[in-house]
Amino acid sequence: MRLCFGSYLAILVPCKAVNIDNKQLCEALLHSVAPNYEFTFSGQENADRVREDATSKLLRCEQNLSKDITGPARNAVPQEVASYFKNNVIKLLDSNLSKQIILALKDMIGNDFPEKDGKKIHGIYDDTKVELVNGITKKELASQTEFCFHSFLAGVFLYVVTNTTNRSGKKTIRSVTQEYVLSFTSRIEEITLLEDNVSDRICTYDYRNGKTDTEFAEGVAEYLIDKIKQLPQPSKQDDSLLVTLLSEANGKCLYCGGYLGIPKRGKIPVKNCEIVYLKQSPDEADSYENAVALCTNECAPLVPAMSSDEIAELLEKKHRCADIQAFLDRISGIKFQDEIETVLREVHKTKNAQGLEPTDIKDLVEIERKIHEPFLKDKINASMARLYKTVKNTCSRLEQEIGFDTNMFGELMKSAYKLLESGIQQKSDIIDPQEYIADLLVEKLFSQVGQRHRDACEIIVGYLVKRCDLFNENTKQS
């Protein structure tokens, strides 16, 4: 037996829930570490057939996983992957076969012995950690009887994706059949599934192994005391809040823009920084809403001397950064690309029905707050780094399927050029015409498709801005 992604998937396939196909299960697994990964590419016809073929090749161990999967998997947070499995993968499997899946994986791992193949060695040593959510070794797994199902599946998946070569299982994959998986039915009494409220408090120290309650409790107590001693000393400031603030500011000081780094919880940033609370009234309490991360020696000492207008401006900057981060979080969901496709299909229907009308200068409305162009640039660049290729590939696929024509946006973008060259420049309350125009395009598209999927509309406008180089900043991507 050889553990690899194909054999891992082959164990799950006979245990699928009703009306779940192989490609759906395969993609759900891969999306746990690479949410935007796609089997289909620009210009391909019969997308479903392509997905089926790619899944079959992986299942037969005929090709290795893409670097677009293995790369992100190495940087994935194990507990987040486990949470994803709990919410998105477990429901694709027959709940009556959970124990058979666990026993089959245990058997396969136990029989995957190290073997030299030319210059390479395939197989698993006893001290190798094969379950990466809880850090369980092959030897420990052999005697383990209590399992958190979603956590175990996620942990083995992470090991498979980051430590095995899929082609290595080609010689033995034929033996991983439905009969093999179901042969463990007579042994399901060996496995105890932990309830969620218990399994969420995971302890990898000891799974009892027949010990008395007293011995087990004493062992757990010693283990916890040892772990507590290893914990870092408490920080003088809220590390979780500091991480949040630095993440929102892209790792930079909010005042001077100097790079500080984004720390992991419990570890210091690259450069000295601290949380400063910008209070607009003496009785205002410290909170996330008025907290910013600034350079300790350079910028933080300047705060006491700041005017109320400077504090208000810095808080406005903080809130804009938080809005961008919240937007990026929303578009990171696995189903978001479906919303993009929905909007594009609606645009296609609208275009066929009545035409996509250009925006007119009379559509301008007054705005109450000033706009700062750098936030538009940061927002579009950050979102397009994630989704430019997704939108481009979706447009190409829809061109093949329904005759979608990206050029239908031409009139919309031409109207934006006209607005930039006309009355907007003279409007004193519009500090930055570029961001105002982008917002106007989003509103126009949002209205055109029935006021649905606003975030997807914003991504499509960002794509058009990049593609058309609307603001003449040489931002076009290939």
Tokens of 337: 């690309």
Q: What span, in angstroms and rounded, lies between the C-alpha atoms of 3 and 8? A: 7
Residue 203 scores a pLDDT above 60: no
Q: Are 432 and 371 in contact (CB under 8 A)?
A: yes
pLDDT-derived band at 215 (thresholds 50, 70, 90) equals low
Q: Identify the three-state secondary structure at position 60.
A: coil
Tokens of 5: 């992604």
Residue 385 scores a pLDDT above 70: yes
96-110, 111-125, 225-239, 324-338: least confident range: 225-239
Average pLDDT over residues 184-208: 66
CB atoms within 10 A of CB 1: 18
Could you tell me which of 345, 464, 355, 358 has the C-alpha nearest to residue 404? Answer: 345
Q: What is the pLDDT of residue 229?
A: 60
Average pLDDT over residues 297-309: 88
Residue 104 scores a pLDDT above 80: yes
Average pLDDT over residues 265-272: 56
pLDDT-derived band at 369 (thresholds 50, 70, 90) equals very low
DSSP codes of every residue in 399-412: HHHH---GGGGHHH
52-56, 157-161, 306-310, 385-389: least confident range: 385-389
What 8-state DSSP symbol labels residue 184? Answer: G
Q: What is the pLDDT of residue 189?
A: 93
Q: What span, in angstroms and rounded, lies between the C-alpha atoms of 462 and 381? A: 8
Q: What is the pLDDT of residue 52?
A: 84
Place of tokens 């486990």: 82
Average pLDDT over residues 47-73: 87
Q: What span, in angstroms and rounded, lies between the C-alpha atoms of 246 and 262? A: 6
Residue 186 scores a pLDDT above 90: yes
Cα 67 to the chain's mean position, in Å? 16
Could you tell me which of 137, 108, 107 has the C-alpha nearest to residue 125? Answer: 137
Alpha helices in 111-238 (DSSP H): 138-143, 149-163, 178-182, 196-199, 213-230
Residue 236 scores a pLDDT above 70: no
Residue 355 scores a pLDDT above 50: no
Q: What span, in angstroms and rounded, lies between the C-alpha atoms of 309 and 315? A: 10
- The torsion defined by the Cα of 10, 76, 154 and 173, in degrees rounded to 10, comes to 20
Express each pLDDT in 18-50 by its tens digit.
888 888 899 999 999 988 888 765 555 677 777
Q: Are 253 and 331 in contact (CB under 8 A)?
A: no
CB-count burial class (<10 Å; 0-12, 13-18, 19+) for 161:
buried
Q: What is the pLDDT of residue 99?
A: 94
Residue 319 scores a pLDDT above 80: yes
Query: Which is more confident, 135 or 464?
Result: 135
- The torsion defined by the Cα of 303, 308, 311 and 316, in degrees rounded to 10, comes to 180
Residue 357 scores a pLDDT above 80: no
Query: Which is more confident, 31 or 257?
Result: 31
Express each pLDDT in 82-100 by its tens digit.
999 999 999 999 989 999 9
Could you tell me which of 93, 109, 107 has the C-alpha nearest to residue 3? Answer: 109
Place of tokens 């408490």: 234
**Maximum average pLDDT range among 172-181, 237-246, 271-280:** 172-181
Query: Which is more confident, 239 or 190?
Result: 190
Whether the predicted model's global pTM rises above the 0.85 cut: no
Q: What span, in angstroms and rounded, lies between the C-alpha atoms of 108 and 46? A: 35
Q: Identify the three-state secondary structure at position 116.
A: strand
Query: Which is more confident, 392 or 4?
Result: 4
Q: Are 394 and 341 in contact (CB under 8 A)?
A: yes
Q: What is the pLDDT of residue 368?
A: 31
DSSP codes of every residue in 300-327: GGGGGG--HHHHHHHHHHHHHHHHHHHH
Express each pLDDT in 392-440 by its tens digit.
888 888 888 888 777 767 666 666 656 555 555 555 555 556 667 777 7
Q: What is the pLDDT of residue 78?
A: 92
